[in-house]
A and B are shown apart, each in its own frame.
Chain A
């Protein structure tokens, strides 16, 4: 088993108001089989024993599905390995003596709470604006009452694989949330069940995305390159199309019932 040493430059910031800065840590013994977060666990154990404040980072499932973890490693969201969240990134991809810069996701819509922890509540608010199908419990027809063509279902699933980690925003040079929002709209608007609300959904979700202060999409494709679920930027084009169409089609309701 290979072991090696690393130098970490970690962004430390006590709370949202603190200006923050980098602190360097030497990590003398890194095993190649550790995950990146396990390596940070070891660093933190050392800090705690010394009475120092451990590095705060978000994580939960540690199997790449909950979307809680994520930070920048040398300028890459979730680090250098394709299709991988930072919790599944293993140390065998690093070399002895490497210097790594760890920074939180940076976007006005994702304020830093502490160290590498950011607040991604903006994503929840985008979903609350329209990222759902209104199907109150008990109102559903039989599961096979509406057939869904397999290609549509597969494409919806491709988009629905989004874990909401925020890497797309972090990596985007413009801090756009287009990949996240586009993925959710694509998931729901591709399914027959999503049709009744398709137009209202895209208008509401795009509106909320704008309100949250994310930037614009310039189609650089960096989001797609770092997305741990490799969601294609095709979903952004779909969102744009749906949005243009919905904006053009929109009719003023005679009276608003709700």
Chain B
């Protein structure tokens, strides 16, 4: 019956709801990664050695490192593919635009999901070239991630760019974190307010914690 199962998954994915489910599920995975990533990164506050030891542990555990990388890549691929398909259909759904259009009842975050999403995607690529491959890093030492981090964020424009990027991530996360409950159909009006508030709290806290790294490095708090 494998053909039937494949057909069934395919016909589920054909619908916009199916695609939204993929976006919600992959979004949750990507969010989970962010939490892990943050826990790793804040070790910089415990000193360069601690941080480097953490990086070395990852490199010495290829199953964890590559396992994570593969899951993330697939998630990102799913997330982006679905959104590209949805937005292509969206353009067809309204061939003539309004001359005047208000956005009543919609948050800025919800309306700018595509913009923040594209920006975050661009940031991820830059981030990989910056700290993983070192391609765009002026002073990259493959064996000293702590050095790479500190030397990068002592440059004010780089630090600022990262802080701005975190703002965009927060925005994207805020809407994503509450709307995934809608997409998966697990929301309830009694909790909607709390879900939105929690989404706001989590996304802001998470991104503020991330942003604290460049800020504190720039302020020479971390050396």
Contact = CB atoms under 8 A, between A and B. Distances in A.
Q: Do chains A and B touch in the complex (CB under 8 A)?
A: yes
B113 A243 contact: no
A220 B100 contact: no
A101 B14 CA distance: 37
**Chief secondary structure at chain B's binding surface:** helix
B89 A216 contact: yes
Nearest to B21: A244
A72 interface: yes
B93 interface: yes
A12 to B, nearest CB: 13
Interface in A198-238: 206-207, 210, 213-222, 224-226, 232-234, 236-238
A241 interface: yes
Given A108-B93, A215-B16, A216-B19, A244 B184 contact: yes
B154 interface: no
Interface of A: 9, 22, 72, 74-76, 101, 103, 106-109, 171, 173-176, 206-207, 210, 213-222, 224-226, 232-234, 236-244, 247, 250, 252
Given A75-B102, A206-B17, A221-B105, 15 more contacts: A9-B99, A106-B96, A106-B98, A174-B93, A175-B93, A219-B175, A219-B178, A221-B107, A222-B106, A226-B105, A234-B187, A237-B182, A237-B188, A243-B185, A247-B8
Given A219-B183, A243-B15, A234 B188 contact: yes
A252 to B, nearest CB: 6
A89 B216 CA distance: 55
A238 B102 contact: no
B219 interface: no
Across chains A and B, which 4 residue pairs bring their CB atoms closest together, nearest first? A225-B105, A241-B185, A216-B16, A219-B179
Interface in B4-26: 4, 8, 12, 14-21
Contacts, number: 137
Contacts of A234: 187-189, 192
A218 B189 contact: no
- Give the interface size class of chain B: 35 or more
B15 A210 contact: yes
Interface of B: 4, 8, 12, 14-21, 86, 89-90, 92-107, 110-111, 113, 175, 178-179, 181-189, 192
Contacts of A109: 93
B185 A239 contact: yes
| Residue of A9, A101, A174, A225 contacting most chain B CB atoms (<10 Å) | A174
B182 A240 contact: yes
A215 B94 contact: yes
